[in-house]
Structure 1
């Protein structure tokens, strides 16, 4: 892409905010913005740090949670800080500036002089930022709280001294992002609440000065955040200012507090949907914002807006199955956290449980032992209201939340992605994920990277890596740079169908309507105890490519796809297609469980032509329930006859079961 074309694409992606962003970038590159920040932070006086009670346990920490903390602290000391599933040693000051993908270190000029975005950048800055969020500093503080007089106090002080030496004010990548500064302030607030009395005076003094300078930095840069970062960044930056105000004893009625509160409230109103889902089309960022809401609550905000949003966000994750086991990694995934946990960084259950407890929705006594989030941030069990358990949904259950449908039948958990949002989304409309027992069968491919190789970034987030149809082989959305899209789409999740022993979930989208002659695509998924069948209808009948991402470990034997980790299951209806696994050029056939890591996995691609519906699926080898009959656009599976009628603003699915006909709608005017 030429420079002119790239600038034009940037302007299209930014829309009405393009002038604001351009003005900000000009000020940053000219040094004018830096001069304002330097003047503001240089004049800051050390803050007087105060105990924030919400971050110090008011009762005994559950023994299991305490044990996890001490074990984690030992690993931090012996092996290093946890970053994306790896342990990164911090033995010298420069280790805080690690470039994780090839072992170099970020330089320490003024932050606005560092290139983190162009092809000339030193590496992926996300590694250093994850290290600098100080999750492990909080864990060491917890260990010092649990075992005073042990080695933890010395290790905590040593690492903080190295930090202050490595990150002088406004120098280095750790001052580049306002969100990272805000999250670090929240972490230090927890450290101070847990063990301020055992921190050496020089460490407390350095922290007090840095907190004061962070407040000035966030305030000076806040107009940019408000105008250009209307997503989790705005919530996080406002939360950081409010946390620092509370941390330093600032008045809730001060001008700074009022500015931050108004910004947080306005973005929260834009951010949340009535069912608890968010504009962040990412399960990782959903958890991230849920944790911001819990911190806001722990700072003393018991307002209906915050409690309702916190409870709704937690219930959305619960409906999607977060308390029952792993759920798909929709959208960008980077382990983003505001809270600290020594548990599995991929697990969503602890944050979900904490949101339910703090909003008074439900509480299971087991959560205080199972989840660090509940053990360290929730009140003692006796201070919580009614106790309920989080049982697995009953057999043949279906729920829709945030446009995502989840069907649970027997050992099958199946999700149909019929929702979307403007932030951190992937090109995954009508993507199908499926788990059989505790084993993944059809997967979301993950994220891979943000600021690494652009071909890797796009390979994971575009529609070729997801389970769906690509009309004329085109991508569902047109990507631009690492985070933006030049096109968008409308998607509607239909009313689910339930019969005895089966569930049908379905959705329709218009992602390809941007192309002349291209119509909409509708997808239905039939789920029974024996397996699942996917049916696709194309409004225009144009040729398409069907892509399917399978779980790592899938084998192709005698032209049949066998899921090696799920004996007795086969994938049907995909014979004759091509398969790619672990390919570097062009990049394809990979699965990323967490940010920065990947392993080979099979991506399938099969040509689709004609006007008839397309059928494929996964079922037990011996089952005949999912043998489909196709007659044009009429498909019969598991005794359910389905047909699709596209109409202005949506679609209708005509379903016949046992001689009875029902019409289910999706889109404008849907019931």
Structure 2
């Protein structure tokens, strides 16, 4: 990204430079030189006639056995695409026409320029609209849906629409021209989906390539694929940008080079990508399976790429190492561990609802899809795993082959509770049972690498689910490009179940995807078990204040009494304004009491008793200026939620919250907490 909306370009550039080491500055200068050579046409993008080998196809694919109603749903979705309607992100439908204008933003209607991509400011709304919507359409997830439908029906309309849309894309988006060539990650995702599409239409044997026009389509498509691979190789996201973008780029390059080994460079591309993916899997996932971006949506996103590349490698006889699969097994285990019995995963860190592939018509739960993939690949019956998802079955169908030798031990499949290297600890009782209590404490780093792009200022925050019903929640992300105040709020400290001091975030932002000063959390006392949980930790985010302050949080959970105690204190010389925030899921009934708060859900009741000195207790919901009391389940949508804010002007005396949980007619019969009638 070249700049950040709402911040002067010069200031953003200065902040970005502050996050770079000398080696990265040299790399950026080198990339600028490559851009200049490409713009002037001094670097080849496509070597038109040098196709040296045929594309690959793992055999004739028959229709995947479909569940009741699944074929009808698939064809209905494909019919909507043929009529010009596509679904972007998490369920937002847009009419882009049967023959889309691929450089047009579906949300604003702005048509981006078909000029050299390296010179396009993708954050200029007047020029390109909202680039996220342009990119999402051009991932071509919906073209794969047409390929699936062509397997499920003899109606030629699906292949005909696919051919027309692909032909239009190749004509409108020549190499290095327009907004669809501005992101290496998007190019990688497009290659991945083109590969899935290729397999599903039967590759070279497809009716898509019949006749002279079909052969021209095939030739032009291969030339674009070659340009995609070359672009990724030249513009890999390195240094402080080497997060999920690099994994996505390498996965696209590997799958592209493996599917279409048609050029002299293909072997080099494949080797570069395979080695890079092996390295990045180690770098970007902790040894206990947590993605280091500290954003659970990107934990899933990166794992989707790694699974797709790994399965493609196995299908083509170029398998990845057992270490690679062990890392993926641990990533699946972590996701399974934090997921509650109703499938909720805390919305830690950034999320934009983007997917590497979308093969199931109704598979909106990508965490469930990843768990299903893990169950299939690692050949295990997993606690708390959903039934096999359609998306997982389609991916395995498009990339067939024997399961890889993963080397995963049985102990690495069982759910866990302590992920201290990754930065998360679980507390609660009866995990996996109907009366499960599952809480999570965030005691990890802010994010990954120098800019920690997708991390939130949420050190020592807590989430809580009771009997599969969300209670204490992380409010999510909302949007990357809406008004600055919303980006600042949703990634800031006041949007998380932790403590803010003197009205300041724990970490200092330098832009929408950049943190200049990062709060570092440390564990001072490690709990022994989730049911007898006794934790103490602190972070240094407020040591930057004129009167340095350290926030220390003690968390205790007792399984026998279903009681959670949270004690916050500020260690400093003078007084500070301490604000403690508790965000509750929409739909819960809340009422203030003299000493705290009553909460009632469908399956549980909760009473919070607060103690301290000079306390102000208030419920806030849907406040606009400044924002407080908002919740975002999906990208670009938000709704009001209740926030219990506790304010103290005395840092010397701790603020203690005692949460007493009870059930009514759901499993255990505990002492019923008082609540509203």
TM-score (norm: length of structure 2):
0.81
Per the alignment, do residues 554 and 319 of structure 1 end up closer, same or farther by CA in structure 2, a change over 3 Å counting?
closer
Structure 1 range deviating more: 68-77 or 310-319:
68-77
Q: Which residue matches 1:665?
A: none
Per the alignment, do residues 94 and 67 of structure 1 end up closer, same or farther by CA in structure 2, a change over 3 Å counting?
closer
3-state SS of paired residue (2:44): helix
1:362–1:388 CA contact under 8 A, matched in 2? no
Q: Which residue matches 1:614?
A: 655
1:355 pairs with 2:364:
no
1:236 pairs with 2:251:
no
3-state SS of paired residue (1:53): coil
1:535–1:613 CA contact under 8 A, matched in 2? yes
Q: Which residue matches 1:491?
A: 521
3-state SS of paired residue (1:433): strand
Per the alignment, do residues 385 and 519 of structure 1 end up closer, same or farther by CA in structure 2, a change over 3 Å counting?
closer
- What do residues 420-439 of structure 1 show as CA deviations (whole Å, max 9, x unaligned)? 33142111111111122232
CA drift at 1:600: 1.4
Per the alignment, do residues 488 and 52 of structure 1 end up closer, same or farther by CA in structure 2, a change over 3 Å counting?
farther
Counterpart-to-counterpart distance in 2, 1:538 and 1:365 = 39
2:112–2:127 CA contact under 8 A, matched in 1? no
1:268 pairs with 2:281:
yes
3-state SS of paired residue (1:485): strand
Task: Please list, as runs of the form range in 1=range in 2, the aligned pairs for 1:110-509 lying within 5 A after superposition.
Answer: 110-117=116-123, 122-149=128-155, 151-195=157-201, 196=203, 197-200=206-209, 201=214, 202-222=216-236, 225-227=237-239, 229-249=241-261, 254-300=267-313, 301-321=319-339, 325-341=343-359, 342-362=361-381, 369-377=388-396, 398-400=417-419, 402-409=422-429, 410-420=435-445, 421-422=447-448, 423=452, 424-493=454-523, 494-498=525-529, 503-504=533-534, 507-509=537-539
- What do residues 390-432 of structure 1 show as CA deviations (whole Å, max 9, x unaligned)? 9x999xx944362211234233221111223314211111111
Counterpart-to-counterpart distance in 2, 1:618 and 1:71 = 48
Counterpart-to-counterpart distance in 1, 2:107 and 2:292 = 30
3-state SS of paired residue (2:624): coil
- What do residues 339-364 of structure 1 show as CA deviations (whole Å, max 9, x unaligned)? 32323434301112213432445579
CA drift at 1:596: 1.3
The structure 1 residue matched to 2:641, chosen from 584, 590, 601, is: 601
2:372–2:385 CA contact under 8 A, matched in 1? no
CA drift at 1:22: 4.9
CA drift at 1:176: 0.5
Aligned Cα root-mean-square deviation (Å): 3.8
Counterpart-to-counterpart distance in 2, 1:480 and 1:416 = 26
Per the alignment, do residues 293 and 385 of structure 1 end up closer, same or farther by CA in structure 2, a change over 3 Å counting?
closer
- What do residues 503-524 of structure 1 show as CA deviations (whole Å, max 9, x unaligned)? 4455432222333431242231
3-state SS of paired residue (1:319): helix
1:367–1:375 CA contact under 8 A, matched in 2? no
Per the alignment, do residues 243 and 347 of structure 1 end up closer, same or farther by CA in structure 2, a change over 3 Å counting?
closer
Counterpart-to-counterpart distance in 2, 1:212 and 1:533 = 59
1:64–1:369 CA contact under 8 A, matched in 2? no
Q: Which residue matches 1:632?
A: none
Structure 1 range deviating more: 559-568 or 535-544:
559-568
- What do residues 592-641 of structure 1 show as CA deviations (whole Å, max 9, x unaligned)? 111111111223432122433322254457977999xxxxxxxxxxxxxx
Per the alignment, do residues 382 and 125 of structure 1 end up closer, same or farther by CA in structure 2, a change over 3 Å counting?
closer
The structure 2 residue matched to 1:50, chosen from 50, 55, 77, is: 55
CA drift at 1:193: 0.6
2:425–2:442 CA contact under 8 A, matched in 1? yes
- What do residues 486-543 of structure 1 show as CA deviations (whole Å, max 9, x unaligned)? 11132235532449x6544554322223334312422314254745332223333743
Counterpart-to-counterpart distance in 2, 1:93 and 1:271 = 39
CA drift at 1:49: 5.6
2:590–2:600 CA contact under 8 A, matched in 1? no
Structure 1 range deviating more: 296-305 or 136-145:
296-305
Q: Which residue matches 1:572?
A: 608
2:329–2:378 CA contact under 8 A, matched in 1? yes
Structure 1 range deviating more: 325-334 or 291-300:
291-300
Structure 1 range deviating more: 478-487 or 34-43:
34-43
Counterpart-to-counterpart distance in 1, 2:22 and 2:550 = 29
1:360–1:384 CA contact under 8 A, matched in 2? no
1:41 pairs with 2:48:
no
1:83 pairs with 2:92:
no
Gaps of 5+ in 1: 628-671
Counterpart-to-counterpart distance in 1, 2:535 and 2:156 = 56
Counterpart-to-counterpart distance in 1, 2:479 and 2:234 = 30
Q: Which residue matches 2:580?
A: 546
Structure 1 range deviating more: 456-465 or 32-41:
32-41
Counterpart-to-counterpart distance in 2, 1:468 and 1:118 = 35
1:415–1:433 CA contact under 8 A, matched in 2? yes
1:37–1:217 CA contact under 8 A, matched in 2? no
Per the alignment, do residues 127 and 349 of structure 1 end up closer, same or farther by CA in structure 2, a change over 3 Å counting?
same
Q: Which residue matches 1:647?
A: none
- What do residues 563-589 of structure 1 show as CA deviations (whole Å, max 9, x unaligned)? 464476345246833443223333332
Counterpart-to-counterpart distance in 2, 1:208 and 1:44 = 9
2:289–2:331 CA contact under 8 A, matched in 1? yes
CA drift at 1:179: 0.9
Gaps of 5+ in 2: 1-6, 314-318, 430-434, 664-669
Per the alignment, do residues 553 and 446 of structure 1 end up closer, same or farther by CA in structure 2, a change over 3 Å counting?
same
Counterpart-to-counterpart distance in 2, 1:388 and 1:366 = 18
- What do residues 268-304 of structure 1 show as CA deviations (whole Å, max 9, x unaligned)? 3322221122222111111111111112211222322
Counterpart-to-counterpart distance in 1, 2:291 and 2:97 = 40
TM-score (norm: length of structure 1):
0.81
CA drift at 1:112: 2.3
3-state SS of paired residue (1:261): helix
3-state SS of paired residue (1:299): helix
3-state SS of paired residue (1:40): coil
How many residues are matched? 619
1:32 pairs with 2:36:
yes
The structure 1 residue matched to 2:566, chosen from 529, 534, 553, is: 534
Counterpart-to-counterpart distance in 2, 1:302 and 1:91 = 41
Structure 1 range deviating more: 33-42 or 461-470:
33-42
Q: Which residue matches 2:667?
A: none
2:469–2:603 CA contact under 8 A, matched in 1? no
Per the alignment, do residues 347 and 215 of structure 1 end up closer, same or farther by CA in structure 2, a change over 3 Å counting?
closer
Per the alignment, do residues 163 and 287 of structure 1 end up closer, same or farther by CA in structure 2, a change over 3 Å counting?
same
Per the alignment, do residues 585 and 65 of structure 1 end up closer, same or farther by CA in structure 2, a change over 3 Å counting?
same
